[in-house]
Amino acid sequence: MFDSLGDRLDGVFKSLRGQGRLSEENIKDALKEVRRAFLEADVNYKVAKKFVAGVTEESLGEKVLTSVTPGQLIIKIVHDKLVELLGGQSRELAYNPRGITVWMMVGLQGSGKTTGCAKLGLRAKRAGRKPLLVAADIYRPAAKDQLRVLGKALDIPVFTTDDDAVRIAGQGLAYAKENEIDLVILDTAGRLHIDEELMGELQQMKKAVRPTEIMFVADAMTGQDAVKSADAFHQALGIDGVMLTKIDGDARGGAALSILEVTGRPIKFLGIGEKPADLEVFHPSRLASRILGMGDVVTLVEKAQAAVDTKKAIELEKKLRKAQFTFEDFYDQLQQVKQMGSLESIISMIPGVGKALKGLPIDDHALVRIEAMIQSMTLQERRTPSIISGSRRARIAKGSGNSIQDVNKLIKQFGDMQKMMKKLGKMGPKALSGFKFPM
Protein backbone atom coordinates (compact mmCIF):
# COMPACT_ATOMS: atom_id res chain seq x y z
CA MET A 1 0.00 0.00 0.00
CA PHE A 2 2.92 2.34 0.49
CA ASP A 3 5.24 3.65 -2.19
CA SER A 4 8.80 2.60 -1.73
CA LEU A 5 11.23 5.12 -0.39
CA GLY A 6 13.14 4.88 -3.65
CA ASP A 7 10.13 6.03 -5.64
CA ARG A 8 9.48 8.83 -3.19
CA LEU A 9 13.00 10.15 -3.25
CA ASP A 10 13.05 9.91 -7.01
CA GLY A 11 9.93 12.05 -6.92
CA VAL A 12 11.52 14.62 -4.65
CA PHE A 13 14.60 14.96 -6.78
CA LYS A 14 12.93 14.68 -10.14
CA SER A 15 11.00 17.86 -9.52
CA LEU A 16 14.31 19.60 -9.02
CA ARG A 17 15.95 18.49 -12.22
CA GLY A 18 17.03 21.29 -14.46
CA GLN A 19 17.19 23.75 -11.61
CA GLY A 20 20.91 23.29 -11.28
CA ARG A 21 22.45 22.52 -7.92
CA LEU A 22 20.57 20.93 -5.09
CA SER A 23 20.17 22.98 -1.97
CA GLU A 24 20.28 21.95 1.65
CA GLU A 25 16.58 22.59 1.72
CA ASN A 26 16.08 19.93 -0.96
CA ILE A 27 18.01 17.42 1.08
CA LYS A 28 15.94 18.20 4.13
CA ASP A 29 12.79 17.54 2.13
CA ALA A 30 14.28 14.23 1.11
CA LEU A 31 14.99 13.36 4.71
CA LYS A 32 11.38 14.10 5.55
CA GLU A 33 10.54 11.34 3.12
CA VAL A 34 12.91 9.06 4.97
CA ARG A 35 11.10 9.83 8.20
CA ARG A 36 7.80 9.17 6.50
CA ALA A 37 9.05 5.80 5.25
CA PHE A 38 10.09 4.92 8.78
CA LEU A 39 6.74 5.83 10.25
CA GLU A 40 4.93 3.83 7.62
CA ALA A 41 7.16 0.92 8.54
CA ASP A 42 6.08 1.31 12.20
CA VAL A 43 9.38 2.57 13.51
CA ASN A 44 8.59 4.44 16.71
CA TYR A 45 8.29 8.16 15.98
CA LYS A 46 10.93 9.14 18.48
CA VAL A 47 13.32 6.55 17.14
CA ALA A 48 12.63 7.76 13.60
CA LYS A 49 13.31 11.33 14.60
CA LYS A 50 16.59 10.41 16.20
CA PHE A 51 17.64 8.34 13.24
CA VAL A 52 16.88 11.06 10.71
CA ALA A 53 18.76 13.59 12.80
CA GLY A 54 21.67 11.15 12.77
CA VAL A 55 21.85 10.87 9.00
CA THR A 56 21.15 14.52 8.27
CA GLU A 57 24.72 15.65 8.63
CA GLU A 58 26.07 12.98 6.40
CA SER A 59 23.42 13.66 3.81
CA LEU A 60 24.19 17.35 3.78
CA GLY A 61 27.73 16.54 2.75
CA GLU A 62 29.14 17.68 -0.54
CA LYS A 63 28.74 14.23 -2.06
CA VAL A 64 24.97 14.23 -2.03
CA LEU A 65 24.69 17.85 -3.07
CA THR A 66 26.71 17.28 -6.19
CA SER A 67 25.52 13.79 -6.98
CA VAL A 68 23.65 13.09 -10.18
CA THR A 69 21.64 10.48 -8.32
CA PRO A 70 21.08 12.10 -4.92
CA GLY A 71 18.10 9.86 -4.18
CA GLN A 72 20.12 6.70 -4.46
CA LEU A 73 22.95 8.14 -2.47
CA ILE A 74 20.62 9.06 0.38
CA ILE A 75 19.10 5.61 0.30
CA LYS A 76 22.56 4.15 0.53
CA ILE A 77 23.47 6.32 3.49
CA VAL A 78 20.22 5.44 5.25
CA HIS A 79 20.48 1.76 4.39
CA ASP A 80 24.07 1.48 5.58
CA LYS A 81 23.28 3.24 8.79
CA LEU A 82 20.31 0.95 9.36
CA VAL A 83 22.41 -2.13 8.77
CA GLU A 84 24.99 -0.84 11.19
CA LEU A 85 22.31 -0.25 13.82
CA LEU A 86 20.58 -3.56 13.26
CA GLY A 87 23.69 -5.39 14.25
CA GLY A 88 26.13 -5.58 11.40
CA GLN A 89 26.08 -9.36 11.45
CA SER A 90 23.79 -12.18 12.46
CA ARG A 91 24.19 -13.83 15.83
CA GLU A 92 23.52 -17.30 17.18
CA LEU A 93 22.01 -18.26 20.51
CA ALA A 94 24.41 -18.90 23.35
CA TYR A 95 25.00 -22.33 24.85
CA ASN A 96 26.10 -22.91 28.39
CA PRO A 97 29.63 -24.32 28.19
CA ARG A 98 29.30 -25.91 31.64
CA GLY A 99 26.06 -27.80 32.02
CA ILE A 100 22.56 -27.48 30.76
CA THR A 101 21.65 -24.61 28.46
CA VAL A 102 18.34 -22.89 29.20
CA TRP A 103 16.60 -20.64 26.72
CA MET A 104 13.57 -18.82 28.10
CA MET A 105 10.96 -17.39 25.77
CA VAL A 106 9.06 -14.30 26.90
CA GLY A 107 6.73 -11.77 25.31
CA LEU A 108 3.24 -10.39 24.87
CA GLN A 109 0.20 -12.56 24.23
CA GLY A 110 -0.05 -14.02 20.76
CA SER A 111 3.48 -13.06 19.69
CA GLY A 112 4.45 -16.62 18.80
CA LYS A 113 6.40 -17.96 21.78
CA THR A 114 5.08 -21.52 21.71
CA THR A 115 5.67 -21.96 17.99
CA GLY A 116 9.06 -20.31 18.53
CA CYS A 117 9.98 -22.95 21.13
CA ALA A 118 9.27 -25.70 18.63
CA LYS A 119 11.28 -23.92 15.96
CA LEU A 120 14.33 -23.47 18.16
CA GLY A 121 13.95 -27.03 19.39
CA LEU A 122 13.98 -28.43 15.89
CA ARG A 123 16.95 -26.31 14.94
CA ALA A 124 18.93 -27.44 17.99
CA LYS A 125 17.98 -31.04 17.41
CA ARG A 126 19.21 -30.84 13.84
CA ALA A 127 22.46 -29.43 15.20
CA GLY A 128 22.85 -32.56 17.28
CA ARG A 129 21.56 -31.28 20.63
CA LYS A 130 19.17 -33.05 22.95
CA PRO A 131 16.47 -30.47 23.65
CA LEU A 132 13.57 -30.55 26.09
CA LEU A 133 10.54 -28.30 25.77
CA VAL A 134 9.10 -27.15 29.08
CA ALA A 135 5.50 -25.94 29.07
CA ALA A 136 5.01 -23.31 31.76
CA ASP A 137 2.07 -21.39 30.32
CA ILE A 138 -0.46 -22.28 32.96
CA TYR A 139 -2.94 -19.56 31.97
CA ARG A 140 -3.95 -19.79 28.35
CA PRO A 141 -6.38 -22.65 27.78
CA ALA A 142 -4.69 -25.65 26.15
CA ALA A 143 -1.31 -23.91 25.88
CA LYS A 144 0.45 -26.93 27.35
CA ASP A 145 -1.39 -29.20 24.92
CA GLN A 146 -0.18 -27.06 22.08
CA LEU A 147 3.47 -27.51 23.05
CA ARG A 148 2.91 -31.21 23.70
CA VAL A 149 1.48 -31.74 20.21
CA LEU A 150 4.34 -29.79 18.64
CA GLY A 151 6.96 -31.73 20.59
CA LYS A 152 5.42 -35.04 19.67
CA ALA A 153 5.41 -34.21 15.98
CA LEU A 154 9.11 -33.29 16.16
CA ASP A 155 10.00 -36.16 18.44
CA ILE A 156 11.27 -33.75 21.09
CA PRO A 157 10.33 -34.50 24.71
CA VAL A 158 7.96 -32.08 26.45
CA PHE A 159 7.88 -31.63 30.20
CA THR A 160 5.10 -30.13 32.26
CA THR A 161 3.23 -30.65 35.54
CA ASP A 162 0.14 -29.19 37.18
CA ASP A 163 2.19 -26.91 39.40
CA ASP A 164 2.66 -23.16 39.22
CA ALA A 165 4.84 -21.72 36.48
CA VAL A 166 7.95 -21.14 38.60
CA ARG A 167 7.93 -24.67 39.92
CA ILE A 168 7.29 -26.21 36.52
CA ALA A 169 10.38 -24.39 35.28
CA GLY A 170 12.50 -25.70 38.16
CA GLN A 171 11.15 -29.22 37.82
CA GLY A 172 11.81 -29.11 34.09
CA LEU A 173 15.43 -28.30 34.70
CA ALA A 174 15.73 -31.12 37.23
CA TYR A 175 14.13 -33.50 34.75
CA ALA A 176 16.67 -32.44 32.14
CA LYS A 177 19.53 -33.20 34.50
CA GLU A 178 18.21 -36.67 35.19
CA ASN A 179 17.61 -37.46 31.56
CA GLU A 180 20.84 -36.38 29.93
CA ILE A 181 19.25 -33.45 28.19
CA ASP A 182 21.56 -30.60 27.32
CA LEU A 183 19.11 -27.90 26.29
CA VAL A 184 15.91 -26.72 27.97
CA ILE A 185 13.60 -24.43 26.02
CA LEU A 186 11.16 -22.83 28.41
CA ASP A 187 7.79 -21.63 27.13
CA THR A 188 6.09 -19.01 29.26
CA ALA A 189 2.61 -17.51 29.13
CA GLY A 190 2.12 -14.34 27.12
CA ARG A 191 1.60 -11.35 29.37
CA LEU A 192 1.26 -7.62 29.31
CA HIS A 193 4.34 -5.68 30.29
CA ILE A 194 2.24 -3.64 32.70
CA ASP A 195 1.01 -6.71 34.57
CA GLU A 196 3.21 -6.45 37.64
CA GLU A 197 2.18 -9.76 39.12
CA LEU A 198 2.95 -11.73 35.98
CA MET A 199 6.16 -9.84 35.31
CA GLY A 200 7.15 -10.80 38.85
CA GLU A 201 6.46 -14.42 37.99
CA LEU A 202 8.93 -14.21 35.10
CA GLN A 203 11.55 -12.75 37.40
CA GLN A 204 11.08 -15.66 39.75
CA MET A 205 11.34 -18.13 36.92
CA LYS A 206 14.53 -16.49 35.84
CA LYS A 207 15.89 -16.90 39.36
CA ALA A 208 14.84 -20.54 39.45
CA VAL A 209 16.46 -21.66 36.18
CA ARG A 210 19.17 -19.05 35.47
CA PRO A 211 18.60 -19.00 31.72
CA THR A 212 21.55 -18.85 29.34
CA GLU A 213 19.43 -16.70 27.01
CA ILE A 214 16.20 -14.85 27.51
CA MET A 215 14.59 -14.39 24.16
CA PHE A 216 11.98 -11.68 23.67
CA VAL A 217 9.49 -12.79 21.05
CA ALA A 218 7.88 -9.92 19.17
CA ASP A 219 5.36 -9.76 16.35
CA ALA A 220 6.69 -8.05 13.21
CA MET A 221 3.33 -6.33 12.79
CA THR A 222 3.68 -4.41 16.06
CA GLY A 223 3.26 -0.66 15.86
CA GLN A 224 4.38 2.24 18.00
CA ASP A 225 3.79 0.41 21.27
CA ALA A 226 6.80 -1.85 20.67
CA VAL A 227 9.12 0.50 22.54
CA LYS A 228 7.00 0.31 25.69
CA SER A 229 6.65 -3.45 25.83
CA ALA A 230 10.24 -4.20 24.86
CA ASP A 231 11.55 -1.67 27.33
CA ALA A 232 9.46 -3.09 30.17
CA PHE A 233 10.48 -6.69 29.47
CA HIS A 234 14.10 -5.66 29.26
CA GLN A 235 13.93 -3.65 32.47
CA ALA A 236 12.33 -6.50 34.34
CA LEU A 237 14.38 -9.40 32.99
CA GLY A 238 17.35 -8.23 30.99
CA ILE A 239 16.65 -9.88 27.66
CA ASP A 240 19.51 -11.27 25.55
CA GLY A 241 18.02 -11.38 22.11
CA VAL A 242 14.90 -10.95 20.03
CA MET A 243 12.92 -13.24 17.76
CA LEU A 244 10.82 -11.31 15.27
CA THR A 245 7.86 -13.39 14.16
CA LYS A 246 5.33 -13.40 11.31
CA ILE A 247 7.74 -11.64 9.00
CA ASP A 248 6.32 -13.77 6.18
CA GLY A 249 3.44 -11.32 5.90
CA ASP A 250 3.67 -7.86 4.37
CA ALA A 251 4.53 -5.89 7.50
CA ARG A 252 7.61 -3.78 7.05
CA GLY A 253 8.89 -4.71 10.50
CA GLY A 254 10.02 -1.30 11.71
CA ALA A 255 9.21 -2.39 15.26
CA ALA A 256 12.53 -4.22 15.17
CA LEU A 257 14.35 -0.92 15.09
CA SER A 258 12.30 0.40 18.01
CA ILE A 259 13.04 -2.72 20.07
CA LEU A 260 16.71 -2.47 19.28
CA GLU A 261 16.79 1.18 20.23
CA VAL A 262 15.31 0.62 23.69
CA THR A 263 16.97 -2.70 24.56
CA GLY A 264 20.25 -2.59 22.67
CA ARG A 265 19.80 -6.33 22.17
CA PRO A 266 20.23 -7.99 18.79
CA ILE A 267 17.52 -9.56 16.71
CA LYS A 268 18.65 -13.13 16.30
CA PHE A 269 15.91 -14.96 14.51
CA LEU A 270 13.01 -14.36 12.18
CA GLY A 271 9.87 -16.45 12.18
CA ILE A 272 8.92 -16.92 8.54
CA GLY A 273 5.95 -19.26 8.72
CA GLU A 274 3.78 -21.44 10.91
CA LYS A 275 5.73 -24.65 10.54
CA PRO A 276 8.58 -25.62 12.88
CA ALA A 277 11.13 -25.38 10.08
CA ASP A 278 10.09 -21.81 9.26
CA LEU A 279 12.89 -20.11 11.13
CA GLU A 280 15.64 -17.98 9.70
CA VAL A 281 18.80 -16.47 11.13
CA PHE A 282 18.50 -12.71 11.13
CA HIS A 283 20.22 -10.70 8.41
CA PRO A 284 20.38 -6.97 9.09
CA SER A 285 20.63 -5.85 5.48
CA ARG A 286 17.50 -7.71 4.49
CA LEU A 287 15.44 -6.15 7.22
CA ALA A 288 16.92 -2.75 6.42
CA SER A 289 15.73 -3.07 2.82
CA ARG A 290 12.37 -4.17 4.00
CA ILE A 291 11.91 -1.29 6.42
CA LEU A 292 12.77 1.08 3.60
CA GLY A 293 10.20 -0.64 1.38
CA MET A 294 12.80 -1.95 -1.02
CA GLY A 295 11.78 -5.58 -0.94
CA ASP A 296 13.88 -8.45 0.22
CA VAL A 297 16.24 -8.57 -2.71
CA VAL A 298 19.05 -10.27 -0.88
CA THR A 299 16.98 -13.29 0.10
CA LEU A 300 15.64 -13.52 -3.40
CA VAL A 301 19.08 -13.39 -4.90
CA GLU A 302 20.33 -15.99 -2.45
CA LYS A 303 17.47 -18.30 -3.20
CA ALA A 304 17.96 -17.80 -6.88
CA GLN A 305 21.66 -18.45 -6.58
CA ALA A 306 20.98 -21.69 -4.83
CA ALA A 307 18.60 -22.82 -7.54
CA VAL A 308 19.86 -21.24 -10.71
CA ASP A 309 22.74 -22.25 -12.87
CA THR A 310 24.77 -19.04 -13.32
CA LYS A 311 25.81 -19.65 -16.88
CA LYS A 312 22.27 -20.36 -17.88
CA ALA A 313 21.14 -17.27 -16.04
CA ILE A 314 23.46 -15.01 -17.99
CA GLU A 315 22.30 -16.53 -21.24
CA LEU A 316 18.74 -16.12 -20.18
CA GLU A 317 19.17 -12.50 -19.33
CA LYS A 318 20.52 -11.84 -22.80
CA LYS A 319 17.60 -13.62 -24.32
CA LEU A 320 15.17 -11.74 -22.15
CA ARG A 321 16.57 -8.44 -23.19
CA LYS A 322 16.31 -9.35 -26.82
CA ALA A 323 12.93 -10.95 -26.29
CA GLN A 324 14.23 -14.20 -27.71
CA PHE A 325 12.81 -16.02 -24.75
CA THR A 326 11.19 -19.29 -25.89
CA PHE A 327 8.91 -21.84 -24.34
CA GLU A 328 11.96 -24.01 -23.91
CA ASP A 329 13.60 -21.34 -21.76
CA PHE A 330 10.38 -20.81 -19.95
CA TYR A 331 10.16 -24.51 -19.12
CA ASP A 332 13.73 -24.43 -17.82
CA GLN A 333 12.81 -21.45 -15.70
CA LEU A 334 9.81 -23.19 -14.28
CA GLN A 335 11.98 -26.05 -13.13
CA GLN A 336 14.34 -23.66 -11.38
CA VAL A 337 11.57 -21.60 -9.87
CA LYS A 338 10.06 -24.75 -8.45
CA GLN A 339 13.24 -25.33 -6.51
CA MET A 340 13.03 -21.89 -4.92
CA GLY A 341 9.80 -22.36 -3.04
CA SER A 342 6.23 -21.33 -3.68
CA LEU A 343 5.67 -18.69 -6.34
CA GLU A 344 3.86 -16.55 -3.86
CA SER A 345 6.80 -16.39 -1.50
CA ILE A 346 9.20 -15.59 -4.32
CA ILE A 347 7.08 -12.83 -5.74
CA SER A 348 6.58 -11.25 -2.36
CA MET A 349 10.32 -10.66 -2.20
CA ILE A 350 10.58 -8.67 -5.40
CA PRO A 351 10.50 -4.96 -4.62
CA GLY A 352 7.42 -3.26 -6.01
CA VAL A 353 6.16 -6.37 -7.71
CA GLY A 354 4.61 -7.90 -4.63
CA LYS A 355 2.33 -4.91 -4.43
CA ALA A 356 1.52 -4.81 -8.13
CA LEU A 357 0.52 -8.44 -8.13
CA LYS A 358 -1.22 -8.41 -4.80
CA GLY A 359 -4.58 -10.11 -4.92
CA LEU A 360 -3.78 -11.87 -8.15
CA PRO A 361 -4.27 -15.56 -7.71
CA ILE A 362 -0.71 -16.78 -7.82
CA ASP A 363 -1.32 -20.43 -7.66
CA ASP A 364 1.32 -23.09 -7.84
CA HIS A 365 -1.20 -25.42 -9.46
CA ALA A 366 -1.32 -23.09 -12.42
CA LEU A 367 2.36 -23.76 -12.86
CA VAL A 368 1.72 -27.47 -13.06
CA ARG A 369 -0.84 -26.88 -15.80
CA ILE A 370 1.53 -24.68 -17.76
CA GLU A 371 4.22 -27.25 -17.37
CA ALA A 372 1.93 -29.90 -18.81
CA MET A 373 1.09 -27.72 -21.80
CA ILE A 374 4.72 -27.03 -22.58
CA GLN A 375 5.52 -30.69 -22.21
CA SER A 376 2.92 -31.44 -24.85
CA MET A 377 4.67 -29.14 -27.34
CA THR A 378 7.26 -30.43 -29.76
CA LEU A 379 10.77 -29.14 -29.41
CA GLN A 380 10.27 -27.03 -32.50
CA GLU A 381 7.11 -25.51 -31.13
CA ARG A 382 8.85 -24.64 -27.93
CA ARG A 383 11.63 -22.88 -29.78
CA THR A 384 9.46 -21.08 -32.31
CA PRO A 385 6.09 -20.43 -30.68
CA SER A 386 4.89 -18.58 -33.78
CA ILE A 387 4.40 -21.88 -35.63
CA ILE A 388 1.81 -23.11 -33.16
CA SER A 389 -1.27 -23.19 -35.39
CA GLY A 390 -4.86 -24.05 -34.59
CA SER A 391 -4.44 -27.79 -35.12
CA ARG A 392 -1.25 -27.81 -33.07
CA ARG A 393 -3.07 -26.01 -30.31
CA ALA A 394 -5.80 -28.63 -30.30
CA ARG A 395 -3.18 -31.35 -30.02
CA ILE A 396 -1.41 -29.58 -27.16
CA ALA A 397 -4.70 -29.09 -25.35
CA LYS A 398 -5.59 -32.74 -25.68
CA GLY A 399 -2.14 -33.96 -24.78
CA SER A 400 -1.97 -31.88 -21.61
CA GLY A 401 -5.54 -32.33 -20.48
CA ASN A 402 -6.40 -28.65 -20.87
CA SER A 403 -8.93 -26.79 -23.00
CA ILE A 404 -7.98 -25.04 -26.23
CA GLN A 405 -8.84 -21.78 -24.49
CA ASP A 406 -6.18 -22.54 -21.90
CA VAL A 407 -3.61 -23.12 -24.60
CA ASN A 408 -4.67 -19.97 -26.45
CA LYS A 409 -4.38 -18.01 -23.27
CA LEU A 410 -0.94 -19.34 -22.53
CA ILE A 411 0.33 -18.55 -26.00
CA LYS A 412 -1.19 -15.10 -26.00
CA GLN A 413 0.17 -14.25 -22.59
CA PHE A 414 3.51 -15.63 -23.54
CA GLY A 415 3.55 -13.26 -26.48
CA ASP A 416 2.55 -10.38 -24.21
CA MET A 417 5.28 -11.34 -21.84
CA GLN A 418 7.86 -11.30 -24.60
CA LYS A 419 6.79 -7.82 -25.57
CA MET A 420 6.91 -6.75 -21.96
CA MET A 421 10.35 -8.22 -21.56
CA LYS A 422 11.53 -6.27 -24.54
CA LYS A 423 10.31 -3.07 -22.96
CA LEU A 424 11.68 -4.08 -19.61
CA GLY A 425 15.09 -4.53 -21.10
CA LYS A 426 15.02 -0.88 -22.06
CA MET A 427 13.08 0.73 -19.27
CA GLY A 428 14.08 -0.79 -15.97
CA PRO A 429 11.88 -2.05 -13.15
CA LYS A 430 9.05 0.48 -13.51
CA ALA A 431 7.80 -1.40 -16.56
CA LEU A 432 6.85 -4.27 -14.32
CA SER A 433 3.59 -2.64 -13.28
CA GLY A 434 0.84 -4.14 -15.34
CA PHE A 435 2.96 -7.19 -15.98
CA LYS A 436 1.00 -10.41 -15.80
CA PHE A 437 2.37 -13.85 -15.44
CA PRO A 438 1.17 -16.18 -18.12
CA MET A 439 -1.09 -18.36 -16.00
Partner 1 sequence: MRGFFKKLRNGLQKTREQLVGQISEVVTGTPQFDDELFEEIEEVLIASDCGLETAAHLTGRLREVCEERKTMKATEVVEIIKEQMIVMLNGGSAPVDAVIDVTPKVYLFVGVNGTGKTTSIGKIGEHFRSAGKSVLFAACDTFRAAAREQLQIWADRSGADLVSGDDGSDPAAVAFDAVNAAKARGRDVVLIDTAGRLHTKHNLMEELKKISRAVDKALPGAPHETLLVLDATTGQNGVSQAESFGDAVGLTGLILTKLDGTAKGGIILGIRQRFGVPVSWIGVGEKIDDLETFDSREFIEALFA
- Which residues are near ligand GTP by CB under 6 A? 109-110, 140, 190, 192
Q: What does the DSSP assignment read for 380-393?
A: HHHH-GGG--HHHH
Residue 40 interface partner, choices partner 1, ligand GTP, none, CB cut-off 5-8 Å depending on type: partner 1
Contact track, partner 1, 323-362, x by CB under 8 A: ---------------------x---x---------xx-xx
Determine which residue in the list 122, 202, 251, 439 makes contact with partner 1, applying CB under 8 A.
251
Closest to ligand GTP by CB, 123 vs 191, is: 191
Closest to ligand GTP by CB, 31 vs 272, is: 272
Residue 117 interacting with partner 1 (CB under 8 A) = no
Are 233 and 123 within 8 A, CB to CB?
A: no
The site for partner 1, by CB under 8 A, has a size of 53
Measured CA to CA, the distance from residue 397 to residue 394 in angstroms comes to 5
Closest CA to 139 of 202, 217, 183: 202
Determine which residue in the list 255, 267, 300, 316 makes contact with partner 1, applying CB under 8 A.
255
3-state secondary structure of 94: coil
Q: What does the DSSP assignment read for 234-261?
A: HHHH---EEEEE-TTSS---THHHHHHH
Determine which residue in the list 363, 405, 412, 416 makes contact with partner 1, applying CB under 8 A.
363
Closest to ligand GTP by CB, 7 vs 278, is: 278
Closest to ligand GTP by CB, 190 vs 352, is: 190
Q: Tell me 212's DSSP state.
A: S
Strand pairing of 183-188 and 158-159? unpaired
Residue 145 interface partner, choices partner 1, ligand GTP, none, CB cut-off 5-8 Å depending on type: partner 1
Rg (CA), the chain: 26
Closest to partner 1 by CB, 11 vs 223, is: 223
Measured CA to CA, the distance from residue 255 to residue 225 in angstroms comes to 9
Closest to partner 1 by CB, 80 vs 250, is: 250
Q: Between vectors from CA 116 to CA 302 and to CA 361, what angle results, nearest 5°? A: 55
Greatest Cα pair distance, the chain, in angstroms, is 78
Which residues of the chain form contacts with partner 1 (CB under 8 A)?
1-2, 36, 39-42, 45, 108-112, 139-143, 145-150, 153, 192-194, 219, 221-226, 228-229, 246, 248-252, 254-255, 274, 344, 348, 358-359, 361-363
